[in-house]
Structure formats: structure tokens, C-alpha cells
Amino acid sequence: MKNQKLAGAACAILLVALSAPSAFAQNASSASILFTRTNMRPIDNTSNTVLYRVSPSGGTAVPMTPSTIHVDYRDGSWSPGGISLVYEKAPQATFGQTQLFVVDRQGGLARQITTGTGLHTQPSWGPGAAITFVTMRNGDACLGAVRADGANQRILFCPPQRTDLRTPGSMSTPQWTADGNHVLIEASAWGKGLESDWYSRVWKVNISTGAAEKITEQAFGGEQHLTIAPDGRHGFYPEARTLIDFQTGTRTTIPVEGQRALYSKDGTRIAFVQSVRGSDPTAGLAYGAIFIMGANGSNIHPAITVPDPDALYAIADWSKDSSKLLVIKLADLHKLQIVNLATGTATNVVENGVADKGAWYQP
């Protein structure tokens, strides 16, 4: 009985440490960027991927995961206070079998928080110790949830399967609403048939009950990559050049086609890749010239005033105040850069790294 009480106390302390930002958490953390780096072994043509953190000003990259042959660590997401992060461990030998782990920003022993077979991927850390992720059930993508200590793992919501849509479908990384009570997800799939449309359904899911409300359904002639505004009421399909108001269904067409767009964190601007000339399917990135526009489609202009003519660029994340953009520059190697949007200038952060949405933590 005494050991059980001690274990319960330890669990309570852990949850406090992982919960919403406190004065201690803010003082203990600093601005950091998560990125992955893939290591190749020419001797046997094998690889592995390691997750690191680095200061936005550059400097030494600190490994957050081991460097293990045939294992990829990826999809890092910061806790609200920046004192911990959640990531995915993907052993290459068991493709389709992945688990989520939590580790403190200073390193140390990682804690596995998901169990069971299949995928546990695309983690998104919400308020306190709540983490959502994407998993699979009955051959299709579903929304899962778990606590940061591994408690209460469950499937929250699976979009209804339809006989007119192909499986498996795909699901976007969960996006938390400002109140922390819901997440927004996009479930997308091709229709059946040789000339079928691409169907995009957006759901708002209650994190406590799993109750889901479909807020839009759109059909397009080609595959799309939707970005959802922070207010949860608007979205942008860059390949279709379409801005959409989820509440009214109103579509607005912009004059420039793009890919892999991302709203700023205040929802006032959108970054997107235009004139795509290359891609990195392993990282889900599209490369080309990066443009910025207002959330209503106005004032479309290059993010970088004088880009490197021999390089391609991809979008990683926005700064907290939406004044800067974290980008990936593809030249000889992937290089992370921060673009000051007021001046259009890019500053190097680290060589040989790839980052994604949610990678940039700022107190």
C-alpha cells in the first residue's frame, strides 16, 4: 500500500511538471526549434533519423533521441511550457508499427506513452498533459488521445467510412482550438472510380467526449493539402487556389497556385510554396519559391526578397508573433533558416535539418 501511494504521488508530480506553463516552466525553458537529421551509412546503405533541438540563433544542436540504426525518430511537438516534448519512434523493421514517447527538454530517460499495434503518429500537445495523435482502426485513420504520462489512451473519433471513398484515407495532424476543448482534423480520400474527385472533410472534435461536428466537405479534381486557420472557421486549399469560409461555404479564388500552405499563428497571413520544382516525400514537403499573402488572399509577395537562385525552399513553421518564418533551404543539404518578413532576409539556423509545423517553441 505504501508503494502504491508513493507511485501515485510520483505520477501527480509528473503531471504537474508536464501541465500548462507555470512561472517555473517559463523560466526553465527557452526558445527552441525541433528538427530531424537523417544519417546515412554508406558501408551498408542503411539510415536512421535523430531528433534534435537548437536555439533559433543557431549554435550547438542537442540530440533529444538516441542515434539507433534502423530506427527513425520524428514528429516532435512541444508541451505548452516548452519543458517537454512528444515524438514518434518508428523502427524500420516493423513498418507501420510506431509508438509515442515523451522526454524532458534537457534529455534523460524517455517515457513511452502509447501501446498497442499499428501506427501512433502525428502527435499534437494541447493544454496541460493532453496529447492527441493519429492512429488506425479497421483500415482507416482515426483520432487518438493520451495523457503525457501514458494514462487514458483511447480512440476519440473515426470519420464515418463511406462506400464511395477509397480506404485507407489520410488525416491531418490534430490542430487544437484556442480554448483547448476541441481539435480540428481533416480526413481526406480519393473517391472510387477512374475519374474520381479528392474529398476533404473537416471535423471539430470534442476532446472530452469525442463528439464530432463536420464543419465542411469539399470535392476537388486533384489531391489537396488543406491548411486550417487558427480560428477554425477558414481554410486554404493551395493547389486549387481556393480560400474557403467553413461557416458559409463561400469560396474565394486567388491568382497563384501553390502547395503546402500554412497560416500564421495570429491567422492574419498565409505562407505557401509556389512553382514547385521538387519534393521530399519522406518529409511531406514541397519545394519552390515561398510566398506570403493576407488571409483574404491580398498582397501576394515573395517571403525572401533575394532568394538563392540555386536553391529551393519549403515551409516549416511560423514564429509566435507571426513576424518570421522558419524555412528549409534545399541546396547541397537541407538547411534551416529564419526569414524576417519585414526585411525579406534569411538567417541560417542549422545545417542538415528538417523541421515541421509546431517545431518552433517560443516562451
CB proximity list for 332: less than 8 A, separation 6 or greater: none
| Of the candidate ranges 6-10, 117-121, 302-306, the one whose mean pLDDT is the lowest | 6-10
Percent of the chain residues past pLDDT 70, beyond the cut: 90
The answer to whether residue 45 scores a pLDDT higher than 80 is no
Tens digits of residue pLDDT in 248-276: 999 999 999 999 999 999 999 999 998 65
- Per the rule left: phi > 0, alpha: psi between -120 and 50, beta: everything else, 75 is left
Asked if residue 121 lies in contact with residue 76, where contact means CB atoms within 8 angstroms, the answer is: no
What is the mean pLDDT of the segment spanning 202-226? 95
SS3 344: coil
The answer to whether residue 7 scores a pLDDT higher than 70 is no
Give the number of other Cβ atoms within 10 Å of residue 133's Cβ. 29
CATH number, span 254-363? 2.120.10.30
Beta-bridged to residue 73, according to DSSP, are 89
Distance CA 214, CA 209 (A): 15
Radius of gyration in angstroms for the set of CA atoms belonging to the chain, rounded to a whole number: 20
CB proximity list for 172: less than 8 A, separation 6 or greater: 122, 185, 186, 188, 226, 228
Least Cα distance to 150 among 119, 125, 126, 115 occurs for 115
pLDDT of residue 24: 31
CB proximity list for 272: less than 8 A, separation 6 or greater: 236, 238, 258, 259, 260, 261, 262, 290, 291, 293, 315
| Of the candidate ranges 119-123, 149-153, 255-259, the one whose mean pLDDT is the lowest | 255-259
| Residue with cell string 505520477 | 11
What is the mean pLDDT of the segment spanning 146-169? 93
What is the mean pLDDT of the segment spanning 60-89? 95
pLDDT of residue 138: 80
Comparing 93 with 211, the larger pLDDT belongs to 211
The answer to whether residue 13 scores a pLDDT higher than 60 is no
The answer to whether residue 22 scores a pLDDT higher than 60 is no
pLDDT of residue 44: 74
Tell me where in the chain the CATH 2.120.10.30 domain(s) lie.
Answer: 1-30+70-156, 254-363
The answer to whether residue 239 scores a pLDDT higher than 90 is yes
pLDDT of residue 274: 87
The answer to whether residue 27 scores a pLDDT higher than 60 is no
Q: Which CATH architecture has domain 1-30+70-156?
A: 6 Propeller (2.120)
CA 170 vs CA 75, 84, 161: distances in Å: 16, 28, 12
The answer to whether residue 158 scores a pLDDT higher than 90 is yes
pLDDT of residue 5: 34
Percent of the chain residues past pLDDT 90, beyond the cut: 74
**Per-residue pLDDT band at 347 (split at 50, 70, 90):** very high
